[in-house]
Amino acid sequence: MTTKDLDIATHLVHSGERGDLPKGKPTTTPIYAAATYDSMDEIDKVFAGEAPDYIYTRYANPTVAAFQQVMLTIEGGATACAYGSGMAALHAALFACELSPAAVVLASQDLYGATTNLLLSIFGAFGVKSVFADFSNVDDVRAKVSEAKPRVLIAETISNPLLKVCDIDGVAEIAHDAGARLIIDNTFASPYLCQPLQHGADMVVHSATKFLSGHADAMGGVVISRDEFDSAALVGVLKLVGGVLSPWEAHEILRGVKTLGVRMDRHCENARVLAANLRNDQRVGRVYFPEFVEDAQSEVVGRMLRDRQFGALVAIELKNNTREAAFAFMDALKLCVRSTSLGDVFTSVLHPATASHRDLSPARRRELGISDGVIRISVGIESADDIIADIGQALSLSDSATETQRHGAAT
């Protein structure tokens, strides 16, 4: 049968497909949108584990593989696996640590709220126990490890939302002395500011939706391990649970990674300028920023993060420390975006008590220092003066609105 004998309905399906590859090599990674690949010999070898190749995108994809390779290189690991979201990546990292019923996870008390819920609701349902400690206090971690005998420790390089910096060197030593593994969520720092594997972590996780992508247009996650033997478990979770990163998303994230360095330089500089400005603002009760830690912690910050770069996040607690004041402030913003994410080129704000940490009880949030007046600011790459001006006018309007409310309640 020749092609001219085929019906138009058949041509619509097959014409233009499966042509020769270009002789010229692409200068950037293409989007390989194919879900399947056609070769019986290759399929047999790949399924048998005899050859690395592509047969089905749930198993592997060339565009996703390119993203995995760059993360492997910049984090300095032995294996990497990408997923459809940061939470899928975190789930896979924990699963790869072989958490059986009655196993204990020692987790930072300052984790992202969804991570805490993953531990308590998902792993907890299978008998895994979670214990919490202040990972900015190495002595507290050591005492809890001695008491709980955990199989895994998990923390964030820079915590969410109060921006505590973890002494990964010290925590990794404690974990390994106890025969435990250490997982570090490096999302807030990005690999440009910190490479946790170089400080002793066993696995590092990123929500690639944030700084790696940087443009609020792609969602993904990635796990990088220092040990090649983790590859089978990480890929196994991907294949069986199916949290697959789309090649379209991988392409967008890969493009974002190319500008990560220049973006982080600007993010960090703007954050420093904004933090210094807000520290002197009488309408702000407290500013959380890694540069402003006490002397005992400054050495840790300097050792963990790139020199004189303290990240792109600033958290503030309003002087009028109420939910009403926080909402009035956020509603008054004109340039800064109200967003449930972070790490984008634009400045965004979030109210942790009703967003990232809303599932924690009010009492637990108070214990952690997350009051109703706390606002997390992800500082973008706009003009620092414009960011400061917008936040300044919003603080003024917030003050006026809450003052009006107080007078109304009094009358």
CATH 3.90.1150.10 spans which residues of the chain? 260-410
What is the topology classification, in CATH, of domain 40-258? Aspartate Aminotransferase; domain 2 (3.40.640)
Measuring CA to CA, which residue among 333, 319, 304, 70 is closest to residue 167? 304
The mean pLDDT value of the chain amounts to 91
Local confidence band at 408 (pLDDT 50, 70, 90 cut-offs)? low
Ordered DSSP codes for 94-149: HHTT---TT-EEEEETT--HHHHHIIIIIIGGGT-EEEEE-TT-HHHHHHHHHHH-
Give residue 55's pLDDT band: very low, low, confident or very high (50, 70, 90): confident
Q: Which residue has the tokens 């009358």?
A: 411
The span from the CA of 249 to the CA of 84, in Å, is 8
β-pairing, 104-108 vs 129-133, is parallel
Spatial CA neighbour of 258 closest among 329, 342, 192, 205: 192
Confidence of residue 304 (pLDDT cuts 50, 70, 90): very high
- Superfamily per CATH, domain 260-410: Aspartate Aminotransferase, domain 1 (3.90.1150.10)
CA distance 43 to 50: 10
Distance CA 72, CA 225 (A): 8
Q: What is the DSSP letter of 4?
A: G
Average pLDDT over residues 385-411: 80
φ/ψ region of 102 (left if φ > 0, alpha if ψ in -120 to 50, else beta) reads left
- How much of the chain exceeds pLDDT 70, in percent? 91
Q: Is 242 exposed, middle or buried (0-12, 13-18, 19+ CB in 10 A)?
A: exposed
- Per-residue pLDDT, 388: 98
For the cut 60, the answer to whether the pLDDT of residue 410 exceeds it is no
Phi-psi region of 239 (alpha: psi -120 to 50; beta: other; left: phi over 0): alpha
Contact 84, 196 (CB under 8 A): no
Q: Which residue has the tokens 């993360």?
A: 71
The CB density around residue 45, as the number of other CB atoms within 10 Å, is 15
Determine the pLDDT at residue 111.
94
From-to residues of CATH 3.40.640.10 in the chain? 40-258
- What DSSP character marks residue 164? P
CA atoms within 13 A on the CB side of 211: 29
Q: What is the pLDDT of residues 78-132, one digit of tens each?
A: 999 999 999 999 999 999 999 999 999 999 999 999 999 999 999 999 999 999 9
Whose tokens are 């002595």? That residue is 139
